[in-house]
């Protein structure tokens, strides 16, 4: 029985991955769940999983948290701007603990020219894994379709979807499909040295997102296309975002506009045996509760 570890185990992607592993028949006793909040995992612990405290900002305790793990799902941390040292600490600890294989949740198309603000952190982490001597798999997850639900709800409320993405397309993928793919990699063999581009089944423009929002809500949504500076100013003035955060949002839009997020693959279907969910399916499920709220 292979011992499977998951970092960030109380997060959304981890929770879906745990569910997917259990559906695939993985014994809960083979799971080691590493989290800063062990109390949040009492339910799966009751099923037999081992829950351990682990914090990338406390590297001295990570090797002990990873002890006995053979395959580790390293879910990227959420602290943009701090992730390179955090991930390096996790990789070093995995090696010290004797972990054999690390699957890492990266980003689509992490090439040097990609203007996405998180590209460098993911590219550096991928290189650190290559240099570590550990076996690795890169799960290059696309932009989550679920992320569009909040923006779509705001667009419905205001009647406008303001974007700097122009006519750029994004191959939005559901978080659940990313979790299903991760579960396959963790529970089967033959994925070492693979970089999987994990995307939805189609690349869509923001015009399509607005159309879907209008269909689901029954209210008109107009697309307003602006440049980067105007988007940043609007997010600061009207959404109350700090300017650095607004710039991050704008940089994702620029990456879309310049074609770095429009790759469509069949990876989800090849790995899991089922077609990935469309952005329409995700918004149809996620948007109505937000509109009611």
Stated pTM of the model: 0.95
Neighbours of 193 (CB within 10 A): 10
The full set of domains in the chain, from first to last, is 4-141+175-198 (3.40.50.720), 149-153+160-168+201-262+274-287 (3.90.25.10)
pLDDT tens for each residue of 158-196: 999 999 999 999 999 999 999 999 999 999 999 999 999
Contact of 119 with 149, CB cutoff 8 Å? no
pLDDT tens for each residue of 65-74: 999 999 999 9
pLDDT tens for each residue of 23-61: 999 999 999 999 999 999 999 999 999 999 999 999 999
Mean pLDDT for the chain overall: 96
What is the per-residue pLDDT for 191? Answer: 98
Phi first, then psi: what are they for 110, rounded to 5°? -80, 60
Rounded to whole angstroms, the Cα distance separating 10 from 13 reads 9
Task: Identify the DSSP state of 170.
Answer: B
The stretch 6-21 carries a mean pLDDT of 98
Token pair 């701090």: residue = 82
What is the per-residue pLDDT for 79? Answer: 87
What is the per-residue pLDDT for 210? Answer: 97
Rounded to whole angstroms, the Cα distance separating 93 from 32 reads 15
- Classify 75 as helix, strand or coil: coil
The stretch 90-106 carries a mean pLDDT of 98
What is the per-residue pLDDT for 293? Answer: 63
Neighbours of 51 (CB within 10 A): 20
Contact of 62 with 54, CB cutoff 8 Å? yes
Rounded to whole angstroms, the Cα distance separating 99 from 9 reads 17
């Amino acid at each position: 029985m292979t011992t499977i570890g998951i970092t960030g185990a109380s997060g959304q992607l981890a929770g879906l991955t745990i569910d997917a592993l259990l559906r695939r028949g993985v014994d809960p006793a083979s799971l080691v769940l590493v989290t800063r909040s062990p109390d949040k995992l009492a339910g799966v612990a009751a099923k037999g999983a081992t829950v351990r405290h682990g914090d990338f900002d406390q590297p001295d305790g990570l090797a002990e948290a990873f002890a006995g793990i053979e395959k580790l799902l390293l879910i990227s941390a959420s602290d943009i701007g701090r992730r390179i040292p955090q991930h390096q600490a996790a990789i070093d600890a995995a090696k010290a603990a004797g972990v054999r294989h690390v699957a890492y949740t990266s980003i689509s198309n992490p090439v040097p020219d990609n203007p996405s603000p998180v590209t460098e952190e993911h590219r550096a982490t991928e290189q650190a894994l290559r240099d570590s001597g550990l076996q690795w798999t890169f799960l290059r997850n696309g932009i989550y379709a679920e992320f569009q639900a909040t923006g779509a709800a705001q667009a419905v409320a205001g009647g406008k979807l303001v974007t700097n993405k122009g006519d750029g397309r994004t191959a939005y993928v559901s978080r659940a499909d990313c979790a299903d793919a991760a579960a396959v990699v963790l529970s089967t063999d033959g994925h070492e040295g693979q970089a999987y581009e994990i995307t939805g089944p189609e690349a869509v423009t923001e015009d399509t997102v607005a159309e879907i929002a209008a269909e689901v809500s029954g209210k008109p949504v107009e697309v307003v296309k602006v440049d980067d500076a105007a988007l940043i100013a609007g997010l600061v003035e009207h959404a109350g975002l700090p300017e650095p955060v607004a710039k991050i949002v704008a940089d994702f839009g620029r990456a879309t506009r310049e074609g770095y997020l429009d790759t469509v693959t069949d990876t989800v279907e090849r790995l899991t045996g089922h077609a990935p969910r469309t952005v329409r399916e995700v918004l149809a499920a996620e948007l109505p509760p937000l509109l009611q709220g």
